[in-house]
Structure formats: C-alpha cells, structure tokens
Amino acid sequence: MDDELSNSLAPEDSSTLQGTVLAVQANYYSVRLDQPPSAGGISAMPVSLLCTRRTRLKKIGQQVMVGDRVIVEEPDWEGGRGAISHVFPRRTELDRPPIANVDQILLVFSLAEPSLEPLQLSRFLVKAESTGLIIRLCLNKSDLVSSAEQQQWRKRLQQWGYEPLLISLRTHKGLKSVQAELTQKITVISGPSGVGKSSLINRLIPDVELRTGVVSGKLGRGRHTTRHVELFELPSGGLLADTPGFNQPDLHCLPTQLAHYFPEARQRLAENDCQFSNCLHRDEPNCAVRGEWERYDHYLTFLDEAVAYQTAIERTGDAESTLKVKTKGEGQLHSEPKLEAKKYRRPSRRTEKQVLRTLYRDLEELMTEGD
C-alpha cells in the first residue's frame, strides 16, 4: 500500500495509541505501546495489548507484520485487548523472516563446535547483503580456539570487507560490544543452528529464556530450536528478532546482481568498470572483478546457482505457469507441478444435497416413463 493510501486511513485523533507489533500468531497481534497509558493515577495498566485487525484493513489487503508501526483503537485495559486500525508505511521489509522496519542483521557464527566453514559463511553473508541492510558479524565460542586462530579469522574477514565481533558466552567476552551495536535499533539475529543465537538472546535479555539446542555429534550441526519470529525488548533499548535457524539459505538472485553482494567485488567495480554492462565476471574480457581474491571461487559457485535459478524461472514462465521452482539440497533446483486447490476441494453439503435432489428427480422421471 502506498504512503497516500496509508495516510488517508490514519485517524485524525492524535491521542490514539501507537505501538510496535512484537509477535503474530494466527489472527492476533501482540502490540507494545509506545508509552504506558495512565488514568486517575493508576499505573498498573498493560504496556502490551493483544490485538485483532480491523475489517477495513482486511478488505484492502493490508497485512500486519512483526515490526510494523501501528495505531490501536478501543483498548480494553482490563482484558488487555485492542484493535489495529492503521499500519504506517514501512522503512524496510523482509520476506524471510517476515518482519518490517529492520535496521540491521546480526549474523552469528561460531569458531568451534560447530567449526566455521568459509563457504557456508559466505552464503549467509551474500543472503544478508541482498537485503540491503547493515550487517554485523558476530563469532561466538572464541574461548575454544587459540588467540592466534582468532587473529587469523579477524584478518581474513577484514579482507572480505567485514569487522567481526569475537565473543564468548561462557566467559562473557565481547558482550558489551554486542549490546552497544544493538541499542535503539531493530535487529534480526540470524545464522546456522547450534552457534548460540538463542543463548546469546538469553544472555542479552535474561527474562526471555528461549529454548536452546545442542550440536549434533554426527553432523556437527545444531538442531532447530526457534519456530517462529518474535521481537524481544532489550534492556538497553531496541528490539531483537530471533529467527528459525537454517543451515543453507536460498540464494535467489539474478546472475548480474550477485557481484554486488560481495564487498571485495564492489570495491573492484568502484575502481574500474568492466567492458560489458552485463558482465558475469567469469570469462568475459577486460573484467574488473575476476582475479586473485579469496572468495572468487565462492562467487563462481553461487553464480552457477544463480544462472540455474534464472534458467528454471524462464522455463516455468510467469506466475500463472503450472510449475513452480523449489530449492532442494545445497543450491540444487527442481520444478514440481502446482496443485490447483479447486480441483481437490471437497464440495459443500449444500452442493451435495442439490446433486442428490437432481438425481432423485431424474430417477422419478425415469420410473414414471417406464410406467
């Protein structure tokens, strides 16, 4: 919805409550109010309300997402309920996880247990870069590796274009630096399972007590413990969103866009232009990107996936196609038929009764003709 339509729906009453959606479940929305209401000297009223969405918002197709800034009407303080009547225009919007108005991404990995895999880290970084948000890279379990190895990773990632925060939840190392980066911002925390995302949130916000998982000894990967998206309030100010852990995020982008998601490639393009405007930085002559930089092999790996994805999309045609493209495994794509809901929908009882009446009437006519 554009800004003009959104503003036209805003109520004129300036005293109407405003807040931020912290969680969405079914058709209910947990909204944190900007200021706790007060009336008659009573201060024990709720700061958050469980809200529904106004019918007019449903009619215009206005979705309410976690992170949305909203207006709440008709609060029921005793029951802790309210109704969302307006959604303000979003500054940013993510589809995975579905969350609005995010300022930055805190990407969490571990230096050990599970060990840090450069290709997997690159995949997450490229996915994060594709959002256009600020990226903060946090490396947990620094106490499990030597100081020399820590410095090697720091120098290596600086060459990639990132300044990592090395932390240890066991020794509390680096937690103040993380807190400073999160203050007064809406942050999405992401990364593979088992690296300590939920444990980090529990340390930053002790009242949350998220479930944590252990690392699988056989696979060296963590088990998923987070099932949905929710914003948690930081004691120092700001909001933090935990997201479901996953080990291989999808890289759905055009081949010509991929290089812009690598800081090293962006720097090379800023210094020199490629000969061709649609250069894929693979075999083209006079390419400014192709060369001796560590993650160039990662770029080529992801480029093959991007080309395969574009090819699959072109084969399936537009959204009305009978096929859909899905990611399977590590970058492998396959197409499968779209199910038509109407074809498999069970007829209503009213329809079944009408069919029976028609059959019964036809049967009576046949018996009458036979007589």
Strand partners, 326: 334
* Residue 85 belongs to some domain of the structure: yes
* 132 lies in the same domain as 78: no
Q: Which residue has the tokens 């574009």?
A: 310
Residue 273: partners with Cβ closer than 8 Å, 6 or more residues away:
288
* Listed residues 242, 269, 302: the one ending a domain: 242
* Residue 308 belongs to some domain of the structure: yes
* 149 lies in the same domain as 79: no
What CA–CA distance (Å, rounded) separates 254 from 308?
Answer: 10
Q: Which residue has the tokens 């290596």?
A: 156
* Listed residues 242, 270, 285: the one ending a domain: 242
DSSP3 helix / strand / coil % (the chain, rounded to 5): 30, 25, 45
* 234 lies in the same domain as 121: yes
* 111 lies in the same domain as 213: yes
* Listed residues 25, 59, 90: the one ending a domain: 90
* 16 lies in the same domain as 56: yes
* 174 lies in the same domain as 229: yes
Q: Could you write out the DSSP letters of every residue in 40-71?
A: TTB--S-SEEEEEE-HHHHHTT----BT-EEE
Strand partners, 233: 239
- Per-residue model confidence (pLDDT) at position 345: 56
- Per-residue model confidence (pLDDT) at position 347: 66
Q: Residue 36: helix, strand or coil by DSSP?
A: coil
Query: 100, 31, 25: which is closest to 67 by C-alpha?
Result: 100
CB 115 within 8 A of CB 197: no
- Per-residue model confidence (pLDDT) at position 351: 74
CB 190 within 8 A of CB 124: yes
pLDDT tens for the chain, 371 residues long, are: 444 444 444 444 445 799 999 999 888 999 999 876 555 544 545 589 999 999 999 999 999 999 999 999 988 888 899 999 999 999 999 887 889 999 999 999 999 998 999 999 999 999 999 999 999 999 999 999 999 999 999 999 999 999 999 999 999 999 999 999 999 999 999 998 889 888 899 999 987 765 444 443 443 444 434 456 889 999 888 999 877 655 678 888 899 999 999 999 999 999 999 999 899 999 999 999 998 999 999 999 999 999 998 888 888 765 445 555 555 555 555 555 555 444 445 667 777 777 677 776 766 666 665 55
- Per-residue model confidence (pLDDT) at position 337: 55
* 42 lies in the same domain as 180: no
* 170 lies in the same domain as 117: yes
Residue 298: partners with Cβ closer than 8 Å, 6 or more residues away:
118, 119, 122
- Per-residue model confidence (pLDDT) at position 170: 93
Where helices occur in the chain by DSSP H, the ranges are 3-8, 55-59, 118-129, 147-160, 175-182, 197-204, 263-271, 296-316, 341-344, 349-370
* 286 lies in the same domain as 238: no
Structure-token pair, residue 331: 């970058």
- Per-residue model confidence (pLDDT) at position 299: 97
What is the extent of the structural domain holding 211? 95-242
The enclosing domain of 299 has a CATH number of 1.10.40
Q: How many domains does the chain have?
A: 3
Question: What is the pTM assigned to this prediction?
Answer: 0.74
- Per-residue model confidence (pLDDT) at position 264: 96
* 109 lies in the same domain as 229: yes
Instruction: Find the angle CA(263)-CA(97)-CA(200) to the nearest 5 degrees.
Output: 80
- Per-residue model confidence (pLDDT) at position 39: 52
The enclosing domain of 15 has a CATH number of 2.40.50.140
- Per-residue model confidence (pLDDT) at position 8: 40
- Per-residue model confidence (pLDDT) at position 317: 65
Structure-token pair, residue 345: 């929908």
The enclosing domain of 167 has a CATH number of 3.40.50.300
